[in-house]
Amino acid sequence: MFHRVHPERDQLWDPMDVPLFEKAIKYISNKFDVVCFEETDVSTLAKHQRVATVMFDDGYLDNLEYAAPILQKYNIKASFYVATNCINQNKPTWTYELDYKLQHATCAALELPFEYIAEPLKSVQLADIDTVAKLKPALKKMSYEYRSKVLDSIHAQTADVELPKLMMNWQEVQQLKNAGHYIGSHSVNHYMLGTTDNQELVAYELQASAKTIQEELGHFPTTISYPIGSYNHTTIELSKEAGYTRGLATKQKRYHPDKDPIFEVPRVELYNESWPKTKMRIHGVVEQIKRILKPGS
């Protein structure tokens, strides 16, 4: 699973470099039978050990500009899961927006005097990249309600930062569909759906994103990719009610159809790392090592 593929570097969330992406795709196409997840019967996947799927989350334009030509070169049909409001407004996900603002704000520090924030993060010097890098992981651990309050404060303090236009529009998403790729849902606003008790909000994120995809592209998306892999039992039940038949998590392990529920399909995410480590991730070796070093994790 991928997010961005781009030659530009980023200190906080580095896109996969284009040559590394091509190396990974070439390797995957040589070592596995690559199929489109939505076009494959799950029972078929259970019978074959050497099957792989290629997926992208969010809906960044670089998916079309840099990734799609490489996918075409190796005759791979992928699945792209888009956050519909990000497409509608050409506005990146809140995670990217946070990273970008932290690196481009004109203020020297952020003041976040919230009782539910750890003391070292209540006053963040933006020149201290190590401390800055701890802010997003801390926000992901909060409830949706607490996170929203902190993000509102950050956006107010960095209002002078103009965000880049990085997302595809619907015509560009349609190009991917026309090329034989599948377009699924990644919610409306990329909220972490498993971190709120507000069922109306979760239902809206699931239903409205599917409706928009159907209106814009002419098909109902059968798969929901939970933003940031955040979901719970309620998320799953509301996904079923919304009409989805499959749900994608980010558990960093290989999918075993005979063991993993269809609404909790794990995926292995690849990053901009060395080729040996990327290859280890593809084969699940990195996570195996982690489980050995930290039993029960």
What is the 3-state secondary structure of 103-118?
HHCCCCEEECCCCCCC
Mean pLDDT score of the chain: 95
**Mean predicted confidence (pLDDT) in 219-230:** 98
pLDDT at residue 82 greater than cutoff 60: yes
Q: How far apart are CA 291 and CA 293, in angstroms?
A: 5
Out of 79-83, 104-108, 253-257, least confident range = 253-257
Phi, psi of 49 (to 5 degrees): -85, -25
pLDDT above 90 for 253: no
Tokens of 50: 């050497």
Confidence of residue 41 (pLDDT cuts 50, 70, 90): confident
**Going edge to edge, which strands form the sheet with 223-225?**
55-58, 79-82, 182-185, 223-225, 246-248
Cα separation, 16 vs 18, whole angstroms: 6
256 pLDDT more than 90: no
Rounded mean pLDDT, 24-29: 98
d(CA 250, CA 265): 8
**pLDDT per residue as tens digits for the range 162-206:** 999 999 999 999 999 999 999 999 999 999 999 999 999 999 999
Residue 47 has pLDDT above 70, yes or no: no
For residue 23 the two structure tokens come to 């190396």
One-letter amino acid for residue 83 of the chain: A
Statement: residue 295 has pLDDT above 90? no
Per-residue pLDDT, 87 = 99
Above 70 in pLDDT, residue 64?
A: yes
Record the pTM.
Answer: 0.95
* Separation CA 292–CA 197 (nearest Å): 35
**Distance in angstroms (rounded) separating the CA atoms of residues 79 and 213:** 14
Residue pair 210/243 in contact (Cβ under 8 Å)? The answer is yes
Question: Which of the four pLDDT bands, split at 50, 70 and 90, describes residue 98?
Answer: very high
Domain 18-90+167-293, second-level architecture: Alpha-Beta Barrel (3.20)
Does the structure show a pLDDT above 60 at 212?
Answer: yes
Determine the pLDDT at residue 78. Answer: 99
Looking at residue 209, the DSSP 8-state letter turns out to be H
Sorted by where each begins, the domain ranges of the chain are 18-90+167-293, 94-157
Q: Mean of the pLDDT values across residues 60-71? A: 99
CA atoms within 13 A on the CB side of 208: 14
d(CA 47, CA 234): 31
pLDDT at 297 exceeding the cut of 60: no
Closest listed residue to residue 76, CA positions, set 99, 60, 52, 95: 52
